[in-house]
Amino acid sequence: PFEESNRAVADNTRAYIEEKFPVTKINESYENGRGTVTYRVNELPANDTLILKPDDPLARLYFGEGWGAKLFFRVSNPREMELWLDAFEANTSHWGLFVNGAEIARQVPPESKTQRARLPANVLRQGINEITLTFDKTFPITESPNHPLSIVVRSAGEEQGAFGHIYVNGQDASPNLRGYNIVVINPEKDGAVEARANFDTFGSEQASERMAEFIAQIPNGRIVAVAASDEASYRLTQAGVDALKALGAKIDLRGKFRWSHALLAAKGSPHTAREAASEIQVSQIIQGAGLTEPAAAARIGAIRIEPAP
């Protein structure tokens, strides 16, 4: 909606929407100097090739709820497809593959790190297809021999979900409160969590001072995971910004109301830090297997679905 007093802004906004977004105008009405333009989002053509990797923050949108690993894949023209599981490791005796409820494969995990399965055309359908991987058991990740340390940092501003999760070997160690959440991890002790704290930099300027003091006393070599939740910018001060920059952060969240902000760093090695921030979406950083549960059935480096040759 817009009014005559801001017609220039409204016209520029309409032009931007119609140029950048896949929409069709379906209605335009005016009354007493006020107007409303309604758009319909156009259906995008299906992409018959899909590649999912665990460090992609949007990958979770393809997965369904429940036990096992369920994902949804859109097909425009049903035909024989191939499913590839790259860097596949499973500590189970059997794993199965179902497409739209039909069992396609059930087999013992071979030694190969790449698994391939054919998806017959007669079980696929136009539109959304449900693909499910099943396993006969799960196991605690910490009991897996030589398992790599798994860390997932997920940050969301108030309008994106308002959370600040920090998963260490599948366990959420974050206080998950408004502001900055920090977890200190000892990589030499199998990812032992040595400290955790929350600093409400939305509610208090003193929180930045406390955060700076907390970060300063962390020993060098420790892994520091930082996740902003809800809103962390409003009363963030220079002291807080400098403390995060000492870890390797490059983003100053001040003036970025309700942004997400995630940071994973090694204290004393700021050049190795990894960081993500966004005004409109969840920020995520993954190290290792990317577990958000303490037990797992398999590890998969990437999932690919593509037309069969």
Q: Give dist(CA 251, CA 277) in Å, integer.
A: 8
Residues 276 and 302 in one domain: no
Residue 97 corresponds to which tokens in the numbers above?
């593959």
Q: With 70 as the cut, is the pLDDT of residue 63 above it?
A: no
Q: With 80 as the cut, is the pLDDT of residue 273 above it?
A: yes
Q: With 70 as the cut, is the pLDDT of residue 65 above it?
A: no
Residues 165 and 247 in one domain: yes
Q: With 60 as the cut, is the pLDDT of residue 90 above it?
A: yes
- Highest mean pLDDT among 66-75, 107-116, 160-169, 283-292 belongs to 160-169
Helices 238-247, 206-216: axis angle to 10 degrees equals 30
Q: What is the pLDDT of residue 50?
A: 75
- Report the domain count for the chain: 3
Q: With 50 as the cut, is the pLDDT of residue 113 above it?
A: yes
Q: What is the pLDDT of residue 236?
A: 98
Residues 68-85 have a mean pLDDT of 87
Residues 20 and 94 in one domain: no
Residues 186 and 269 in one domain: yes
Residues 173 and 272 in one domain: yes
What residues contact residue 16 under an 8 Å CB cut-off, 6+ apart? none
Summarize the chain as % helix, strand, coil (round to 5): 15, 45, 40
Residues 302 and 276 in one domain: no
Q: With 70 as the cut, is the pLDDT of residue 111 above it?
A: no
Amino acid at 192: A
Q: Which range of residues forms the domain containing residue 196? A: 148-287
Confidence band for 200, pLDDT divided at 50, 70 and 90: very high
Residues 156 and 273 in one domain: yes
Q: What is the pLDDT of residue 34?
A: 74
Average pLDDT value for the chain: 88
In angstroms, the first-to-last Cα distance of the chain is 50
Q: What is the CATH number of the domain that holds 67?
A: 2.60.120.260
Residues 85 and 209 in one domain: no
Q: What is the pLDDT of residue 106?
A: 76
Q: What is the pLDDT of residue 207?
A: 98
Q: Which of 48-62, 85-99, 183-197 has the lowest mean pLDDT?
A: 48-62
Residues 246 and 153 in one domain: yes
Q: With 50 as the cut, is the pLDDT of residue 72 above it?
A: yes
**Of 205, 248, 254, which Cα lies nearest the Cα of 228?**
254
Residues 66 and 164 in one domain: no
What residues contact residue 5 under an 8 Å CB cut-off, 6+ apart? none
Residues 190 and 165 in one domain: yes
Which residue in the block uniquely carries the two structure tokens 């021999």? 145
Q: With 60 as the cut, is the pLDDT of residue 277 above it?
A: yes
Residues 84-103 have a mean pLDDT of 83
Q: Are 199 and 214 in contact, with CB atoms under 8 Å apart?
A: yes
For residue 9, the surrounding DSSP H or E stretch is helix 7-20
Residues 95 and 7 in one domain: no
Confidence band for 288, pLDDT divided at 50, 70 and 90: confident
Residue 307: phi, psi to the nearest 5? -60, 140
Confidence band for 67, pLDDT divided at 50, 70 and 90: very low
Q: Are 49 and 14 in contact, with CB atoms under 8 Å apart?
A: no
Q: Give dist(CA 299, CA 149) in Å, integer.
A: 13
